[in-house]
Amino acid sequence: MDAVLDNLDIFREGFIQTLRLSLFAAVAALILGTALAAMRVSPVPPLRWAGTAYVETVRNTPLTIVFFFVVFVLPQVDIVFSYFTFAVMALTIYHTALVCEAVRSGVNGVDAGQAEAARALGLTFSQTLRLVVLPQAFRNVVQPLGSVGSALIRNTSIAAAFGVQELTGISQRLTTANPGDVIAVLLAGIVCYLVLTLSLAWAVGLTERRLTRTPR
Partner 1 sequence: MRMSLTRSKRRTAPTDAIDTTESTTRAAAGSRPRRPLRGAALLLAAALAGSLALAACGDDDSSDEPAAATATTFPAGSTMAKLQAAGTITVGTKFDQPLFGLKNLRGEPEGFDVEIAKIITDALGIPADKVKFVETVSANREPFIEQHRVDLVVATYTINDKRKQVVDFAGPYYVAGQTLMVRAGETAITGKDTLAGKKVCSVSGSTPAERIRTEAPDAELTLFDVYSKCAEALKAGQVDAVTTDNAILLGLMNSDPGAFKLVGEPFSTEPYGIGLAKGDDQFRAFINDTLTAAYTDGRYEAAYKDTIGKVEPDMPTPPVVDRYTS
Positions that interact with partner 1 (CB under 8 A): 71-72, 75-76, 80, 83, 160-163, 165, 169, 172-173, 175-177
Q: How far apart are CA 44 and CA 38, in angstroms?
A: 11
Could you tell me the smallest distance in angstroms from the CB atom of residue 143 to partner 1? 33
Query: From the CB of 24, what's the least distance to partner 1, in Å?
Result: 19
CB 178 within 8 A of CB 11: no
Q: Output the smallest distance, CB 99 to partner 1, in A.
A: 27
Residue closer to partner 1 by CB (options 35, 186) is 186
Instruction: Give the type of residue at 171.
Output: S
Which 3 state secondary structure label does DSSP give 22? helix
Closer residue to partner 1 (CB): 77 or 120: 77
Q: Would you say 59 or 173 has its CB closer to partner 1?
A: 173
CA distance 176 to 170: 10
Compute CA 113 distance to the chain's CA centroid, rounded to the nearest angstrom: 31
Provide the residue count of the chain: 216
Identify which of residues 20 and 173 has a Cβ nearer to partner 1 in the complex.
Answer: 173
Question: Least distance (Å) from partner 1 to the CB of residue 78?
Answer: 10
How far is residue 174's CA from residue 180's CA, in Å, rounded to a whole number? 10
Number of alpha carbons in the 13 Å side-chain half-sphere of residue 48: 6
d(CA 91, CA 22): 8
Distance from C-alpha of 7 to C-alpha of 212, rounded to nearest angstrom? 44
Of the two residues 73 and 211, which places its CB atom closer to partner 1 in the complex? 73
What lies within 8 Å, CB to CB, of 201 at 6+ separation is 146, 150
Q: How many CA atoms lie within 13 A of 195 on its CB side?
A: 12
Beta carbon of residue 166, minimum distance to partner 1 (angstroms, whole number): 11
Tell me the closest approach of the beta carbon of residue 23 to partner 1, in angstroms.
22
Q: Which is nearer to partner 1, 119 or 173 (CB)?
A: 173
Closer of 54 and 86 to partner 1 (Cβ): 86
At closest approach, how far in Å is the CB of 184 from partner 1? 16
